[in-house]
């Protein structure tokens, strides 16, 4: 009798949210992460790549997965991969301690893409540039921790490393940011 209600067949997969609901629940945090760690010029494409990768893998997800952690770790890998790809391109990479505009660090590698970003983030530009100049992993770590307000355990999950390593990445990033910002203050 129970078998005549078709729904019973899917019980082992129950608990996986419909993708549309998952998208609605996570689009904003993913976007904020991408803007903060890869810049506006890259966030749009990385957003598409992140959710397409998530959609492809979605039916294979384990029951009871933490979907938010999962999609943010996909986004983190997309950002780190894009940063590595950009670094391999034959564009001038500025001295990391240099505070002047630094198009070579931009993931797109195209100075034209940087311009609107300058305008939009003008008030905090030096800090912005300092974050963008960090190594990709530290940059992602600092964004997870301070922009998204996630715990070190969650930062570690997103980066694929231990909680201690996440903590170390964040503190090293903060040390570098402070150094650079002091330098900016001294220059102005």
Residues in contact with another protein by CB under 8 A are 3-7, 9-11, 13-21, 23-24, 27-28, 30-33, 35-36, 44, 47-48, 51-52, 55-56, 58-59, 120-121, 123-124, 127-128, 131, 142-143, 145-147, 149, 164, 167-168, 170-172, 174-175, 177-178, 181
Q: What contacts 166, CB < 8 A, 6 or more positions away? A: 141, 145, 152, 153, 155, 156, 159
For another protein, give the closer residue by CB, 24 or 95: 24
| CA distance linking residue 149 with residue 152, whole number of Å | 9
The nearest distance, CB 59 to another protein, in angstroms, is: 6
The nearest distance, CB 154 to another protein, in angstroms, is: 13
The nearest distance, CB 177 to another protein, in angstroms, is: 6
The nearest distance, CB 165 to another protein, in angstroms, is: 10
Neighbours of 74 (CB within 10 A): 19
For another protein, give the closer residue by CB, 53 or 94: 53
Residue with tokens 């760690």: 37
Radius of gyration of the chain measured on its C-alpha atoms = 19
For another protein, give the closer residue by CB, 90 or 123: 123
* Exposure letters 16-36 (e unless 16+ CB within 10 A, then b): beeeeebeeebeebbbebbbb
The nearest distance, CB 103 to another protein, in angstroms, is: 19
| CA distance linking residue 121 with residue 124, whole number of Å | 6
| CA distance linking residue 37 with residue 173, whole number of Å | 13
For another protein, give the closer residue by CB, 65 or 89: 65
């Amino acid at each position: 009798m129970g078998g005549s209600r078709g729904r019973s067949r899917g019980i082992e997969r129950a608990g996986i949210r419909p993708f549309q609901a998952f998208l609605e629940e996570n689009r904003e945090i993913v976007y904020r992460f991408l803007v903060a760690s890869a810049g506006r010029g890259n966030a749009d494409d990385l957003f598409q790549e992140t959710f397409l990768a998530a959609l492809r893998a979605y039916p294979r997800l384990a029951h009871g997965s933490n979907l938010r952690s999962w999609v943010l770790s996909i986004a983190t890998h997309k950002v780190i991969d894009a940063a590595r790809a950009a670094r391999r391109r034959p564009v001038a990479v500025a001295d990391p301690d240099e505070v002047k505009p630094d198009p070579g660090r931009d993931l797109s590698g195209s100075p034209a893409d940087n311009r609107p970003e300058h305008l939009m983030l003008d008030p905090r530009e030096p800090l912005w540039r300092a974050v963008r100049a960090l190594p990709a992993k530290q940059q992602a770590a600092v964004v997870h921790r301070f922009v998204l307000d996630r715990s070190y355990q969650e930062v570690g999950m997103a980066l694929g490393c231990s909680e201690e390593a996440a903590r170390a990445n964040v503190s090293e990033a903060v040390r570098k940011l402070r150094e650079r910002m002091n330098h900016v203050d001294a220059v102005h």
